[in-house]
Structure 1
Amino acid sequence: MNRTSLFTLLLILSGFAVTGCEQEKKTAKVSQAVVKKYTQATTLEGTVSNNKGVVKTGTVEATDENGHVITHAAVDNGHYSVEIPANTVLPILLSFASDAGAEKLVVAVIHDTITKYEINPSTTAVAKAAKAMGGYTHANMTRAAADTVHTPDANKTTTGWRGDPTTQYGGWH
């Protein structure tokens, strides 16, 4: 074996060694799930509505993902306000139940910086879809929101009417 062949063989072998090490590094990087929680007592508030409009009375219940009740509050003319204790781990669910026994409405709370939440049939559909996708994560909630909103595919991208005003409502008007 001449010197050039030996050098080439060494380069190839060192390339396999580097590639093998890089692959081990890539698989070794497993991200840990960050546990979000309220560091201090926080008030969550908003309105409750159904397909007929603002719901006048009922109860909003805050529960953890396993259904354990954290707190609850009465709905007053469509508005609610619940105090979430410090160190409450997210996600939590805000569920509305009316005195008339209508379908429960839900919103999933996944971010500790947002304090206003509307509870309505749309938020219920998003929460159910995210749960079916594997849980109340930011990625699942985003995907569920995009999938449950009835927006034409052309309007979900920059090539839709938002990116090109000549296609809004089928063209110039």
Structure 2
Amino acid sequence: MKTPTTLSLILISGLSLLSSAVLTGCGREQPKSNATSKAVVKQSLRATSLLGAVSNNAGPIKTGIVTLLTASGEALTSTELNNSQRYEIQVPAGTVLPVILHYAPSPNAAKDEQLISVVIQPDASKYDINPTTTTIAKQAKAMGGYTHSNMVQAAESIAHVPDTNKTTSGFRGDPTTQYGGWH
């Protein structure tokens, strides 16, 4: 009967040989797995300012509070509109995207008075907040979350372009000037 130390040495030697055979693969390169290439890369913002205008269907909104929220709803920072529809809000460095710009006329405002806009691009700094951005955000969230793909799909689904303006045949004017010239 072998002692525990001898048995341990045999097991370690066997595992070493097995692992070196697997790693070398008999001289052939092992195919790489694509499982890790599909991982979601979380983007974050550097310390920056986001700015834009707040409006509703009646026009510019000049009073209220704009709050920067995480995707889970945690408040990061806020700013007040002071007799101007323009806001500017400071974003802390390392803030993970997406984030939500939330407007409310007062802290206890009804849901139908609140507006949002979703920040998904780390390099963009201008984000208006209005009923259209709110509809896009709600639709993207219903589609599975605030991803770039969902935001684009939601925006395309609510944008209305008349059929007569989708082709040059419905355009009444100089066709070389439509869409910035011929494409």
TM-score for both structures, normalised by structure 1 = 0.73
SS for the counterpart of 1:67 is coil
Letter of the 2:66 counterpart: V
Match of residue 170 from structure 2: 167
Which range is displaced more, 72-81 or 43-52? 72-81
Could you tell me which runs of 5 or more consecutive residues in structure 2 were left unpaired when the two chains were aligned: 1-30, 175-183
Residue number among 116, 127, 130 corresponding to 2:126 in the alignment: 116
Letter of the 1:167 counterpart: G
Letter of the 1:135 counterpart: G
Which range is displaced more, 99-108 or 58-67? 99-108
Match of residue 83 from structure 1: 90
Structure 1: which 4+ aligned runs deviate by more than 6 Å?
24-27
Report how far residue 67 of structure 1 moved: 0.4
CA distance, structure 1, for counterparts of residue 32 and residue 162 of structure 2: 42
Give the share of equivalent positions with the same residue, in percent: 41
SS for the counterpart of 2:156 is helix
Letter of the 1:119 counterpart: I
Q: Deviations over 1:89-125 (max 9, x none)?
A: 0000000000383521000000110001100000000
Question: 1:53 aligned to 2:59?
Answer: yes
* C-alpha spacing 1:151/1:94, structure 2 compared with 1 (3 Å): same
CA distance, structure 2, for counterparts of residue 62 and residue 47 of structure 1: 14
CA distance, structure 1, for counterparts of residue 74 and residue 164 of structure 2: 42
Which range is displaced more, 73-82 or 107-116? 73-82
Report how far residue 150 of structure 1 moved: 2.2
CA distance, structure 2, for counterparts of residue 94 and residue 47 of structure 1: 11
Question: 1:96 aligned to 2:106?
Answer: no
Match of residue 4 from structure 2: none
Larger Rg: 1 or 2? 2
Could you tell me which runs of 5 or more consecutive residues in structure 1 were left unpaired when the two chains were aligned: 1-23
Residue 49 of structure 2 contacts residue 91 of structure 2 at CA under 8 Å; is this kept in 1?
yes
Residue 164 of structure 2 contacts residue 170 of structure 2 at CA under 8 Å; is this kept in 1?
no
Match of residue 138 from structure 2: 128
Question: 1:148 aligned to 2:158?
Answer: yes
Q: Cα RMSD between the aligned structures?
A: 2.3
CA distance, structure 1, for counterparts of residue 101 and residue 56 of structure 2: 15
TM-score for both structures, normalised by structure 2 = 0.69
